[in-house]
Chains A and B, each alone.
With several copies, the nearest count.
Chain A
Amino acid sequence: MRYGRAPEVLRDIDLTLKPGSFHFLTGPSGAGKSSLLKLIYLAHGPSRGLIRLFGQDISTVARRDVPDLRRRIGVVFQEFRLLDHLSALDNVALPLRIAGRRAQEYRDDVAELLAWVGLGERLEALPSTLSGGEKQRLAIARAVVNRPDVLLADEPTGNVDREMGLRILRLFQELNRLGTTVLIATHDRELVQRAGQPVLRLDGGRLSPPLRPGPPVGQASGPRAEAEAAPELALDPPPPVPPPGPGEAAA
């Protein structure tokens, strides 16, 4: 993957996330963690290579089916991306509204979730009146509110204290226990150590294999996120043909 005519940011990435797995993604600042997440949540297409999501090659997915895929993915953006004109409650409820749920149904659930992340008193606050950490917790609440099949979190604890960080980790682990595939890009060593989950390290555009207990590999049905960006330059070796099986990606 590359931005415009800039050098490639990600190369030779071969990543398969097993459904229900929990990974951390680390790497120096600027390594391409956010870019990799962007590929997975379909904000950017790969300049070459193959991305399979929930068993489908996303280049073959019809444009009108993309929203359905996106609704199964929750994202905590590094820069939060809250809507400034909506209250905390409305920001968190956004994915539910988009999915067509009725306000009366979801309101209490959303308020409960906000209380859980410590914003129970600020339901009607606008994001611009929240502190940095409060905004971050709001973004996290929005990402998890509709129990996504895949949760991508980009530096979700950069603005909160340790206690809140661990609380958020517990929230992610709880979701994971319920079947959500979790991928967290972070610099927070303490978080990584506490969680004891496999760590993927991205450096120089390449992905190192998981450091701690490797993710189980195998054919599996159900939710599945697969990101891949194959080399394109003629000097690089051509990407191997992906196996036609319904499961993993390759290259």
Chain B
Amino acid sequence: MTGLPAQAPARRWRPGPLLPVGEGRDRALSFVIAVLCALACLTAILALAADRAASGWRTQISASATVLVRPGRGQTSSEAAAAAAEALAGVPGVTEARALDRADALRLLTPWLGGGVLPDDAPIPMLVAVDLDPRRPATSAALRAALANAGVQAVLDDHSRWLGDVERAALIARSAALGAGALVALAAGAAVAFATRAGLTSRRDVIEVLHLSGARDGFISGLFERRFAWLAARSGAYGALAAILLAGALKAFGGQDGFTPLLPLQWSDLLAAAPCPLAAAGVAVVSARRAALRVLRAPSQA
């Protein structure tokens, strides 16, 4: 045996950690926490993006209206459109009202009919595109009144038919994303708490020996708090890192055309993973403390 001789320089010697380290139990626990944290972070990041997408649809739709102008007597359709645009621009809550010229109108029709298919002389209705102030949009009634006042024969489409659908879809997407994020975060937290408690119970013998040797409750539970906080924080960091790399890859390679329009991920969303290690450590500390104190209170003075 190579035990240090008693007269070895005291300086070089350091006492061992009071809690056993590096057990398989701990590694399994770390791994599972890391996986759950990665899932929670990924869900949080995607939830942010989904939320942004949902509110994006909503504002895009509610912040615009289309007016189809029918030329009155003695007016070309262009003149009628210009008059309508002028009348609408004066309404409070309207940012801009723009009469589309024939080219614009055709461009708008293109996605639906294909390009360059309408005969040049096909009479198309004139459109006025109205942009509304997204914060205080003009009501449909105000727009209709302005058109009637200006004596323009026109049909207003404020997209309200679509708005309901889109809002419902957005609400669902948003709550699904947030719900999934909360669910996974909760599961990760519960797993940290649960596994911390289990990991601690299996070291009951250490607790009892320390206890009977006169260690204070705070000293003992502090050992476990630090151990599991550190374990959870490290696992949480690994998990967050994995989530950030994965989401970053999605953002980088998802491309402008493919994924991004559906799920407008922004680089700043990746920050949602940042609090993960801290949160994991916090959960671990609280549950380690509670579990340690329960073991401490149980056997003695029963």
Contacts and interface: CB of A to CB of B under 8 A. Distances in A.
Direct A/B contact, Cβ within 8 angstroms: yes
Interface of A: 6-7, 41-45, 63-64, 66-71, 73, 75, 81-90, 93-95, 97-99, 103-104, 107-108, 111-112, 114-115, 120-125
Nearest to A102: B15
Given A6-B1, A124-B2, A103 B14 contact: yes
Given A42-B300, A124-B3, A98 B213 contact: yes
B141 interface: no
Contact of A67 (B6, B21, B215): B215
B214 A95 contact: yes
B4 interface: yes
Contacts of A114: 6
Nearest to A5: B2
Interface stretch (B34-42, B62-70, B202-210, B253-261): B202-210
B80 to A, nearest CB: 89
Given A44-B302, A90-B15, A103-B15, A95 B4 contact: no
5 A-B pairs with the lowest CB-CB distances in the bound complex, closest first: A71-B214, A111-B6, A85-B20, A70-B214, A123-B3
Interface size class of B (residues with CB under 8 A): 20 to 34
B18 A97 contact: yes
5 contacts: A41-B212, A42-B301, A75-B212, A104-B11, A122-B1
B5 to A, nearest CB: 8
Given A64-B216, A95-B213, A85 B3 contact: no
Nearest to B206: A83
Given A63-B217, A67-B214, A125-B3, 13 more contacts: A6-B1, A7-B1, A41-B212, A75-B212, A83-B205, A84-B20, A86-B16, A86-B18, A89-B4, A95-B213, A95-B214, A107-B10, A124-B1
B219 interface: yes
Contacts of A82: 209
Nearest to A103: B15
B299 interface: yes
A125 B210 CA distance: 20
A115 B16 contact: no
B13 interface: yes
Contacts of B215: 67, 98
A121 B300 contact: no
Nearest to B8: A111
A81 B209 contact: yes
Contacts of A85: 16-17, 19-21
Most buried by A among B212, B219, B299, B302: B212
Given A87-B16, A98-B215, A121 B1 contact: yes
Contacts of B302: 44-45
Contact of B6 (A83, A84, A98, A123): A123
B216 A124 contact: no
A99 B3 CA distance: 25
Contacts of B1: 6-7, 121-122, 124-125
Contacts of A93: 15
B3 A81 contact: no
A81 B299 CA distance: 15
A126 to B, nearest CB: 10
Given A44-B300, A83-B209, A108-B10, A121 B3 contact: yes
A81 B213 CA distance: 11
B219 A98 contact: yes
A50 to B, nearest CB: 14
A114 B15 CA distance: 16
A88 B1 CA distance: 13
A104 B10 contact: yes
A61 B208 CA distance: 20
B59 to A, nearest CB: 60
A19 B121 CA distance: 118
Given A68-B214, A97-B18, A112 B6 contact: yes
**Most A CB within 10 A of own CB, among B3, B17, B20, B216:** B3
Contact of B16 (A71, A90, A120): A90
A112 B206 CA distance: 25
